[in-house]
A and B are shown apart, each in its own frame.
Chain A
């Protein structure tokens, strides 16, 4: 895994006529947790979709500007599947695929061509350990992924995201549907992982960003309002809007 940062220049996205992102320019440094906060509908999820180009599946979307992961412009990449393997994604709602836990985690590597059982065994154990799920499921790897609890399914999603050893890990409000204990476990994992990969953490929970992120960007109504070091953004933000949001007066 390389250390890749993300450079976004003048990114604008429209769904039909409605703007979702307006001329966003942002630098995400490598190997740290980068927080993105903001109220609903401010464009945070759209930004993530642009990073791994799942925005392509939204037929009404039009995208302008450039987004570089490492040194490659994702919009110009021909092999978009390659891109998506380099970027892991965790959604708000936990999704366990209807297959065994083992197959869940092995899915990505299998699609990418890994066939050897031995390799997959090592990989599955490693990813489940990284996602803090191994101890709970090591005796029942054949259990259906959909039968796990919400918190376990979210960690399973995380394990899947890690299975392809991504350069960038994106999490979109990963904790809203799971219990606090699991959230804590995952947060510990993220801190550990940030030493070797770039993590983009989109969250509605301002305190979570404060805990985990080294730098934070604040979005509002499809615009990037402010970006800076966590400590600075939360104690002495430059914009009034930012101040209002982090103190809970709006959003």
Chain B
């Protein structure tokens, strides 16, 4: 069988051997049994690579066939010197084809004919240790460089895909583990019962309602102020250095650590405004925490409305407010809503800002009747889901095995996981609203 080297990347380099022995045995072109003449070698090549049913295969781009004249003796396997180089190029061929790089043969058959003709005319003579090359070029086939690039690209794609997967997999694993561990406790009664027996039994109703209180109150404080402030900054404020400073400050205050918000809440609301640790103080702290982000996302939503809409309206005699009311706000309301909803989920999940401003360890509230929906007053503290999870992790001693046996208490672990699942479920549900709203937005694009 012919000696096949595979240099780089898939192009094949076929070598066939000739040892000039006009009357020797017909070889098959291998090093051990070389063909006895160039003409025989050509025949062999034709059988292997040309015609309708080549015994090896047809040639593709960047394949090469060498006809090597065998060196006798120990040097037989050495690299032979290239004496002649011919080219086959289907796209480069012209009427006059002589096998050179500029005037290549159009296909292997005519190349073999051409070489045979040259051989018959005695134009080719290969001394021992020399070879004749027939290189095939195809313009649109991949060069070795191309193939290497494509391999690198594939590797990069797989590597980066794995990297991304390494983020998604933990998410899925964490969520499933949480739900699995919390499963025994995830019943509707868990949501609607208060914690009891020193938090070794019961549910999360009081903290859940508390979270709703905090989120709702902080929302009605922060959203109108935030949205209107965003309207002011984007539509009315003149573009001077002061406005630019304000915009910069607002954007960057969104990145303040949550514990600093807690400190602010203590300094401003608990102490200075004398609210004490109360629902009101905690809600105000949450409101200030969400305010910068609501302002920024409102401004972005407003800025996405093109300026020439506003100019068209002004030129028709509409005032600034009329333009905002009829064109700008209606076309940015969905972006504004998305921003507000995201802040809702953030306010529901944050613990630090309410730690010292109003979150209470434990409060008894009714679980039945209308009062169970409105149990807290503004001046007192309240329980909150996020803080409750913290408490469950750090301050609650588990029930004794006897109590669990007796059915009076539940294993601490179940309650902890249950609380975590309720909190994360609440947050992710709110976030899905925002995502859904965004997708709805995109489908209804008006310009």
Contact = CB atoms under 8 A, between A and B. Distances in A.
Chains A, B in direct contact (C-beta < 8 Å): yes
A85 B446 contact: no
A146 B322 CA distance: 20
Contacts of B308: 91, 93, 95
A142 B311 CA distance: 23
A54 B315 contact: yes
B165 interface: no
Given A97-B327, A160-B312, A111 B317 contact: yes
A57 B314 contact: yes
Interface string A93-113: 101011000000001100110
A98 B317 contact: no
Contacts of B326: 107, 111
A107 B309 contact: no
Contact of B309 (A97, A111, A161): A97
A157 B316 CA distance: 10
Contacts of A83: 317
A52 interface: yes
Given A98-B327, A146-B446, A54 B312 contact: no
A126 interface: no
Interface string B327-357: 1000100000000000000000000000000
Contact of B317 (A59, A91, A108): A108
Interface in A158-194: 160-161, 163-164
B120 interface: no
B429 interface: no
A161 B326 CA distance: 18
Contacts, number: 61
A81 interface: yes
B142 to A, nearest CB: 44
B446 A144 contact: yes
A107 B322 CA distance: 11
B317 A84 contact: yes
Contacts of A124: none
Contact of B312 (A57, A112, A157, A164): A157
Contacts of A157: 312
Nearest to A112: B317
A82 interface: yes
A59 B316 contact: no
B447 interface: yes
Contacts of B319: 81
Nearest to B240: A59
A20 interface: no
B331 A81 contact: no
A160 B309 CA distance: 13
B402 interface: no
Contact of B238 (A59, A85, A111, A161): A59
A107 B313 contact: yes
Interface string B295-320: 00000000000001101111111110
A85 B317 contact: yes
Contacts of B446: 98, 144, 146
Interface string B429-447: 0000000000000000011
B239 interface: yes
A69 to B, nearest CB: 14
B309 A95 contact: yes
A112 B313 CA distance: 12
Nearest to B447: A146
A163 B317 CA distance: 12
Interface of A: 52, 54, 57, 59, 81-85, 89, 91, 93, 95, 97-98, 107-108, 111-112, 144, 146, 157, 160-161, 163-164
8 contacts: A54-B314, A59-B239, A81-B319, A84-B315, A84-B317, A85-B317, A89-B315, A157-B312
Given A93-B308, A144-B446, 10 more contacts: A57-B314, A81-B318, A84-B317, A91-B308, A91-B311, A95-B309, A95-B312, A97-B327, A98-B327, A160-B316
The 9 closest A-B pairs by CB, nearest first: A85-B317, A84-B317, A98-B446, A146-B447, A89-B315, A108-B316, A81-B317, A95-B312, A111-B318
